[in-house]
Amino acid sequence: MTTTEPTPDTSETAPDPAADQVEARVASRARAISRMWDQGAYLRMSEAEARAFEDAGGSGEDTMILNMGPQHPSTHGVLRLMVELQGETVLRTKPVIGYLHTGMEKTGEDLTYLQGPTNTTRMDYASPLFNELVFSLATEKLLGIEVPERATWIRMLMCELNRVSSHLLFMATNGMDLGAVSMMLYGWREREEVLRFFEKVTGLRMNHNYIRPGGVAADLPDGWRDDVLRLLDMIPPRLDEYDVLLTGQPIWRNRLQGVGVITSDEALALGTTGPLLRSTGYAWDLRRDEPYLAYDQVDFDVIVGTYGDCFDRYAIRLHEIRESLRIVAQILEAMPTGDYRVQDKKVTPPPRARIDESMEALIHHFKIFTEGFKVPEGEVYAAVESPRGELGCYIVSDGSAQPMRMHIRGPSFVNLQTLPHLMQGGLIADAVANISSVDPILGEVDR
Amino acid sequence: MADDAPVDETDDARETEHEETETPQPEQLHGAAVTRPRGETVLHPSREQYLDLVRTLVDEGYLQCVDLTAADYLGHPGRADLPEGTEPERFEIVVGLINHFERQRVRIRVQVPADDPTIDSLFELHPGTEALEREVSDMFGITFDGHPDPSRILMPETWEGHPLRRDYDQGRIPVQFKGAPAQR
């Protein structure tokens, strides 16, 4: 890790200035919280209350409450916003969610640890591999097993490519939301190339169930290196085209610059992570700050913004694609040989060929797929940096083959709380830009 | 606030904690017992200590609350990983805090009894817990004192019951076969 720019607060100087820094940050954060209180960007009303409020003539200053969504092309799924408007200006907002709630955490309690990734992968469907990864990391922490080196690097390769595909999807939808419809097609086109590689490796374009407790489901196929090299050759010039099409374009800049501004203190107080937090200039990236997998052995930069506006969030994601490709290039060089899953008979199913020869292998195969493996009692939290921020998994095990409680800390769910603050005081036309720049995936919001 | 917990006791506990063995004296931090399973730091305050503990931690630099959730331990009452002096209850609130300055995390586990499922809200200290606390009260039926909008978040407003409780009936939809009658 050779990132030179320090986190705004983690200077390695004498303890005294550091303590001052903590104190200053605590104070400015407290001020930000009281400011947010005063502004009251959050509309806290139930539907019935909103209707009564409307019937009573609103707040008396010519306001109205408007529903956006849940079926709206730019709400990225089924998000509904109750927006209080004065003319075209947004006063207060309430995100209404739950339309995609299918009780996946409850379902997770009935699946064995081996089946778990099939469930979690469907939460954030734009970056499924991260969901599988975080579930697997938590399970492995409970089991106390260490996965082979090659499995770790395969996981890194797949996750970075998934970050690329997820951010390309953002590029596409962000362009579409702001009226750059050709951008939508370009983004989908490049994303499809990455998904084609996923299909080759995992068999599926989405919902892969590829990363599992103990390693990955299968080794990389023959010719994977050429495929990745092709992606590395193809995507960067296309990103340069995006720069020509969007980044320097005056209309694009006018739509995004200075729209939806948030400060570091507000973002910290609201629990925000990921590009949304980094856009405020706060360098916090779990890959660098709490390295998991083998991220301490690759070289990359943490991209931060300055103004915390929609343009910064767009630019950060565009640059993160480049950084991810840089990591992928290093992974190609460093990919070790060896096993792709742990050789622990109690966790890993035996290879198909062994089942024909060995009674033991048959028994293990049968036990793992009918009963699953038992996981020691305890509770554990694992976190990874997903394209949207900190993705966490909290598992409580009672010693049986199914988790007693499986909770996913979805970054979209928490980040969505910034939306009222981003929208307040802005125009209704900018609401779409703000929703888009938070990049929520509703499957993960509702789970 | 038992802020003045004997300092030397804390040091002793740290020294003996090295081999991750059971220590006779539980380690303390701001009056809350500390356990360190699998290299993570877990604090076990009582419900009364909870809010003050989080406030103290904010002043120490734990500026961000990343996660707040709950677990229902019905049917799994005895837990080996609780420190001495912490009585296991049915519900447990689990809070994750980050200190960005020192790159550290702590997790707080608070026991919440089934006959009085209420706990203080963290909203004033961490406004970002608003949605998370609404989710917990929706899914587990735990009330947060001082929460500005204690309505349901994921389930419909008219829903009855709390789905993530262990005794919540999952229910079945009977499959009705309406195929052609069997040939004779």
* Stretch B14-18: mean pLDDT: 45
Output the 3-class SS for A417-438: HHHHHHHCCCEHHHHHHHHHHH
Query: Which chain B residue has the Cα nearest residue A43?
Result: B149
* pLDDT range class, residue B32, cuts 50, 70, 90: confident
Where does the pLDDT of residue B24 fall: very low under 50, low under 70, confident under 90, or very high at 90 and above? low
State the average pLDDT over residues A216-220.
Answer: 89
Residue A444, pLDDT above cutoff 60: yes
Q: Which of A34, A94, A414 to mutate to test the interface with B (most CBs of B within 10 A)?
A: A414
Positions of E strands within A251-343:
none
Output the pLDDT for position A14.
43
Residues 6+ positions from A316 with CB-CB distance below 8 Å: A275, A278, A279, A303, A304, A305
Q: Is A405 exposed, middle or buried (0-12, 13-18, 19+ CB in 10 A)?
A: buried
pLDDT band at B9 (very low <50, low <70, confident <90, very high): very low
The overall longest dimension of chain B from CA atoms, in Å, is 87
Which of helix, strand or coil describes residue A388? Answer: coil
Span A354-364, pLDDT tens digits: 888 888 888 88
Q: Could you report the per-residue pLDDT of A329-345, keeping only the tens digit for each?
A: 999 999 999 888 888 87
**φ, ψ dihedrals at B77, nearest 5°:** -70, -45
- How large is the average pLDDT for residues A72-86? 80
Residue A396, chain B, CB below 8 Å: the answer is: yes
- At which residue do the structure tokens 């002043």 appear? B59
A344 touches B at CB < 8 Å: no
Interchain proximity B128–A18, CB inside 8 Å:
no
In DSSP terms, B43 is beta-bridged to B34, B108
Give the model confidence (pLDDT) of A117-164 as tens digits. 999 999 888 899 999 999 999 999 999 888 999 999 999 999 999 999
Please determine, for residue A71, whether its predicted confidence score (pLDDT) is greater than 80. Answer: no
- Please write the tens of the pLDDT for every residue from A394-441: 999 988 888 999 999 999 999 999 999 998 888 888 888 898 898 888
Q: Strands B91-99 and B64-72, how do they pair?
A: antiparallel
Residues from chain B that touch A280, judged by Cβ atoms under 8 A, are none
Nearest to B128 among A21, A47, A271 (CB): A271
Mean pLDDT of A73-88: 81
Sort out which chain B residues have CB atoms less than 8 A from A46's CB and list them.
151, 157
Name the token pair of A44.
């806290």
DSSP state of A42: B
Question: Strand, coil or helix: what is B184?
Answer: coil
- Per DSSP bridges, beta strands A80-86 and A63-68 are antiparallel
Under a CB-based contact definition with an 8 Å cutoff, are residues A79 and A436 in contact?
Answer: no
- Evaluate if residue A16 carries a pLDDT over 80: no
In angstroms, what CA-CA distances link B179 with B132, B173, B175?
Answer: 46, 18, 12
Place of tokens 């409450």: A65
3-class secondary structure, A308: coil
Q: How far, in Å, CA of A351 to CA of A340, rounded? A: 12
B124/A33 touch (CB, cutoff 8 Å), yes or no: yes
Q: Is a pLDDT exceeding 70 seen at residue A370? A: yes
Summary mean pLDDT of chain A? 87
Using the 8-state DSSP alphabet, how is residue A377 labeled?
S
Among A residues 275-294, those touching chain B with beta carbons less than 8 Å apart: 284, 289-290
**Helix/strand/coil (H/E/C) assignment for every residue in A142-195:** HHCCCCCHHHHHHHHHHHHHHHHHHHHHHHHHHHHHCCCHHHHHHHHHHHHHHH
Check B37 against A380: CB less than 8 A apart.
yes
Residue B26 is predicted with a pLDDT of 65
CA distance A390 to A290: 11
Q: How many CB atoms lie within 10 A of CB A329?
A: 15
Closest-CA distance, B8 to chain A, in angstroms, reads 22
Of the CA atoms within 13 Å of residue A364, those in its CB half-sphere come to: 18
- Work out the number of other CB atoms within 10 angstroms of the CB of residue A74: 17
* A381 Cβ under 8 Å from any chain B Cβ: yes
A12 has pLDDT over 70: no
Query: Could you give the CA distance from residue A205 to residue A209 in angstroms, rounded to a whole number?
Result: 11
Give the whole-angstrom CA distance, residue A181 versus residue A185: 7
| A379 contacts chain B (CB < 8 A) | yes
| Contact at CB, A44 and B149, closer than 8 angstroms | yes
Beta strand residue intervals within A320-446, DSSP E: 378-386, 389-397, 403-409
Whole-number pLDDT of residue A39: 79
More confident residue, A425 or B175: A425
Cα A154 to its chain centre, rounded Å, is: 19
| Mean pLDDT over the full length of chain B | 80
pLDDT in tens, A233-292: 999 999 999 988 888 889 999 989 989 899 998 898 999 999 999 999 888 999 998 888
B64 and A9 within 8 Å at the Cβ level: the answer is: no
Q: Is B135 left (phi over 0), alpha (psi -120 to 50) or beta?
A: alpha
pLDDT at residue number B11: 45
Contact check, Cβ <8 Å, A380/B58? no
Beta-carbon count within 10 A of A54 CB: 14
| pLDDT value of position B107 | 92
Q: What is the pLDDT of residue A152?
A: 93
Q: Which residue from A116, A113, A209, A222 is spatially nearest to A158, judged by alpha carbons?
A: A209
Q: What is the pLDDT of residue A394?
A: 94
Cα A395 → chain centroid: 19
Q: What is the pLDDT of residue B2?
A: 43
Q: What share of chain A in percent tops pLDDT 70?
A: 94
pLDDT of residue B161: 85
Higher pLDDT, B86 or A320: A320
Reported confidence tier of residue A51, pLDDT bands at 50, 70, 90:
confident
Instruction: Say if residue A213 is preceded by a cis peptide, omega within 30 of 0.
Output: no
- Give the DSSP per-residue string, A190-247: HHHHHHHHHHHHHS-SS----EETTEESSPPPTTHHHHHHHHHHHHHHHHHHHIIIII
The answer to whether the CB atoms of A106 and B101 lie below 8 A apart is no
Single pTM value for the model: 0.87
